[in-house]
Amino acid sequence: MNQRYRGIILVLIATLVFSVLDTSSKFLTAHYAAAQIVWMRYLCQFTLVLLIVAPGRWREITMTRRPLLTILRGAMQGCSSLFVVMAFSTLPLAETTSMVFISPLLVALFAGPILGEKVSRGQWLLIVAGFSGVLLIARPGGAVFGVGMLYALACSVCYALYQVLTRKLTATEPPIRLLFYNGLLGTLITSLLVPSCWSNVVPSLTQTSIILSLGVYGCIGHFMIIRAFSETPASIISPLLYSQLVWATLLGWQIFGQFPDLLTLLGMLIIGGSSLSLALKQAGTGQRAR
């Protein structure tokens, strides 16, 4: 199979895997605190990295040239995972996912002061349009209005900073090292929070299977994204990441019986369209959107 087509298939499967991960996390919020769910996910993911990737490669995956930025990047990923699961506990799956997808718009804002990239007039217009979509979703009486919206926005900010730091670090840090520190920092951060919210609920066989699957989904999804970017130009891959909005809508409808109303769908389309247009614009100028 042509490498380009293989990359396209990989990223489409990866977005489905991430949507299944989000769906599983949302299902577990009915029984466990968000910090406990994220801790279980990162513990499983980090264990898999240690067992499968780390042996014989300790120096390669741990010896970073930029430790502070690498640690900060891992912390931002851990915080974004925590905030999104907190949002899932009160919000529908599709709406939460669409709110998280404003992160490319925030990346364009943060890239100026952090990376020295200039924000053009066209990018500003897309950013304003994207936030108008947020207002449609988060309107009073809408499904996202309330504290869950703040969690989703906090996730977007953390994830945008994570992406900016990723762009800054990829010149010196290999993907496997960044994946290692993701798991390490996510596990450490949530380990500090778990004792205060630990649930003594004994998981059923189904819940145990879902809990163990979280780390597997995380590893598989990130591995597929890394492979996709290594085999196919970012200008093709980046727009395909937005297929996760479709997967999230379908899974939220089928699993939880939650389907967005017309105004919310319009807001989701505006966010997705603005972020997608920005990704295509950045790809056209040689920048990576993620």
Note whether 185 and 78 are within 8 A (CB): yes
pTM comes to 0.85
Note whether 239 and 101 are within 8 A (CB): no
Query: If you count them, how many residues does the chain have?
Result: 290
Cβ of 152: how many Cβ atoms within 10 Å?
Answer: 27
Note whether 15 and 186 are within 8 A (CB): no
Which pLDDT tens digits describe the chain residue by residue (290 residues)? 566 778 889 889 999 999 999 999 999 999 999 999 999 989 988 888 888 877 888 888 888 889 999 999 999 999 999 999 999 999 999 999 998 888 888 888 887 777 777 778 888 888 889 889 888 888 877 667 788 899 999 999 999 898 888 878 877 888 888 888 988 999 999 999 999 888 888 888 999 899 889 888 988 887 888 778 777 776 677 778 888 999 999 999 999 999 998 988 999 999 988 888 877 776 555 443 33
- pLDDT at 20 (0 to 100): 96
Name, in order, each residue with C-beta under 8 angstroms of 121's C-beta and a sequence gap of 6 or more. none
